[in-house]
Structure 1
Amino acid sequence: METEMDMASAQTQVTITHAVGLHARPSVKFTKLAKTFGARTEIAPAEAGPWIDAKSIVKVMAMKAPEGTVLHIRATGADADTAVAELRALVERNFDEGEGHEPG
């Protein structure tokens, strides 16, 4: 039996400010966090899509979202609000790689 909570959904957008964008290490951190939620989580480089599974490291890395990309995040499920808020916060924190992170 589905309840209203099962169908909860949330959506946000955040600009990637990490110098290398959503690549290698940032992608791993993003998908690892996404997998901690029961909600179906997806990301896209534009509101119209294409939307991809945020829990798939292969798909997230293949998106190749560079610095400056407005990343759209959406989730559906009981913990959708938390999933969207925490994924957005991770991007805002430069994937926990410190301020002024410089590549190489």
Structure 2
Amino acid sequence: MDNRSRQQAPAAGDAQGYCQIEIEVTHGFGLHARPSVTFTRLAKSFPCTVEIEVNGSHVWLNGKSIVKIMGARIRRGSILKIRTRGLRAAEAIHALQALVERDFDEEKKHGRSA
């Protein structure tokens, strides 16, 4: 599993913190119900804003909204841009990136080994 990701440095002069990454979804079924819930729960655990853009659509969705994430129909091979702004933005972006890279921890939930 070779995830494509590129992290962009925090914007200069932004006191609140701003981070953005681009990453490919490699999970076999994309963000169906369980991975979407896992993603939004993690996003909600941070006080910063979390937004995603799918496949260069230029439409930013609330990454803490299960309705928005499920409605985006994110499939395997989709390219996500994830951006965070505010307190703990860098911590949030690293945690969300790691979750996507771990295929939303789906293997652990079903007792399967890689």
TM-score normalised per structure 1: 0.86
- Asked if the contact 1:5–1:78 (Cα under 8 Å) also holds between the matched residues in 2, the reply is no
Counterpart-to-counterpart distance in 1, 2:38 and 2:22: 18
Counterpart in the other structure of 2:28:
19
The answer as to 2:59 corresponding to 1:50 is: yes
Counterpart-to-counterpart distance in 2, 1:22 and 1:36: 19
Q: 1:59 aligns with which of 68, 78, 102?
A: 68
Counterpart in the other structure of 1:71:
80
What is the deviation of 1:49? 2.0
Question: How many pairs does the alignment contain?
Answer: 98
- Give the unaligned 5+ runs of structure 1: none
The answer as to 2:56 corresponding to 1:80 is: no
What is the deviation of 1:35? 0.1
What is the deviation of 1:5? 7.3
Percent of aligned pairs sharing the same letter:
44
Counterpart in the other structure of 1:94:
103
Counterpart-to-counterpart distance in 2, 1:82 and 1:72: 16
- Give the unaligned 5+ runs of structure 2: 1-12
TM-score normalised per structure 2: 0.78
Aligned-pair Cα RMSD in Å: 2.0
